[in-house]
Amino acid sequence: MLRFLVYLLFLLSVAFASSGIVLSIRLRNRLKTDCFSSLMYLQAFIYAFGFYGIWGQIVIKTFLSEFVSPEAIVRFSNISILLGLPFIVLGWMMLLKFSIEVSGRKINNPFIVIFLVINLLLIVGLGYFISGNSAVLPNYLERYYFIILGLAYTIWASLSILFPSGKSGLLPKKENRILALILIVFNILQAVSLYYYDDRQWIGMIFIFLFFSGNSFITVYLSYGTSMNPDKTESDLGSGFDGSNFDEFCKQNDISPRESEIIREICNGLSNKEISDKLFISLQTVKDHTHRIYIKTNVKSRLQLMHMVKKMDK
């Protein structure tokens, strides 16, 4: 029965990872905003750690336990964690980058370099410390390194989302609060389950489920629970989209008839290529119109433009 549950959990892990990466790629391609590129890399690095550093240990213990000594199993498991740690560090970096970009701020290269150097030095230090104390590796790495740094970076990311830069944040305040809450709640649940893990397999399975589902749920919420839903149609934007409010919006911002068509299709979730095909104009023409629309309306992204149009009914 337990073996069946492990197989089922592995399939769920694959499903969560696949959906998280696919949805983040979809958001990036539809909305053309830098933060969704960071979200895509966040998903990739986090799940790389999940399969390499977490599931790798399970595979080692399952398939090597009959052939090698328990001491060797511990050593192989420890090496698996150490080799997987760079992925979680890159994932944390992308989490901070994503949250800072969502808040309307920019992240500079020196910050990235300093962050990577400090965290990689921590990994080297842990490896050096553990080399003579191999018995403490699982507890030290998982319960202290992962839990403490994971909580610290998640709180940092949540605060960045909760307090955007002026009016340039990509999400409304309510959606910011929900996104920050999702990050905090799932991270706390992961930390608690990992803290109480003591070789009881069912607690370890809960942690794995929370790890994979929590990161996937971020992309699910952004894709279907916010105003940036790529599948929004004209009717979802309110009656003002087709009425006098939209006409007044175009008049106030000196939007040409062709540019108004572009705005409509952007709000319908179409990519530049799809707009080009639908309106029978070149891709470069769509990009030129979009650039002028951004200048006229003083926005920096498709998402901000969609929010602006949506607010016309309020």
Quickly name the fold that domain 2-224 has.
Rhopdopsin 7-helix transmembrane proteins (1.20.1070)
Q: How many whole angstroms separate alpha carbon 135 and alpha carbon 133?
A: 6
pLDDT on residue 103: 85
Residues 304 and 295: beta-carbon distance below 8 Å: no
* 262-267 CB contacts, 8 Å cutoff, 24+ apart: 262/286, 262/289, 262/290, 262/293, 263/293, 263/305, 263/309, 264/234, 266/290, 266/302, 266/305, 266/306, 267/232, 267/234, 267/237, 267/241, 267/305, 267/306, 267/309, 267/310
pTM of the complete model: 0.76
Assign 132 a pLDDT band (cuts: 50, 70, 90): low
Six-digit token string for 188: 């706390």
pLDDT on residue 158: 94
Task: Report whether pLDDT(50) > 50.
Answer: yes
Residues 31 and 228: beta-carbon distance below 8 Å: yes
Tell me which of 1.10.20.10, 3.30.420.40, 1.10.10.10, 1.10.1280.10 is the CATH number of domain 234-313. 1.10.10.10
Task: Report whether pLDDT(243) > 70.
Answer: no
**Residue 73, Ramachandran bin (φ over 0: left; ψ between -120 and 50: alpha; else beta):** alpha
Domain ranges for the chain = 2-224, 234-313
The 10s digit of each residue's pLDDT in 262-308 is 888 888 778 888 888 888 888 889 888 888 888 888 887 787 788 77
Task: Report whether pLDDT(10) > 70.
Answer: yes
Q: How many other CB atoms are there within 10 angstroms of residue 214's CB atom?
A: 19
Q: How many whole angstroms separate alpha carbon 314 and alpha carbon 238?
A: 9
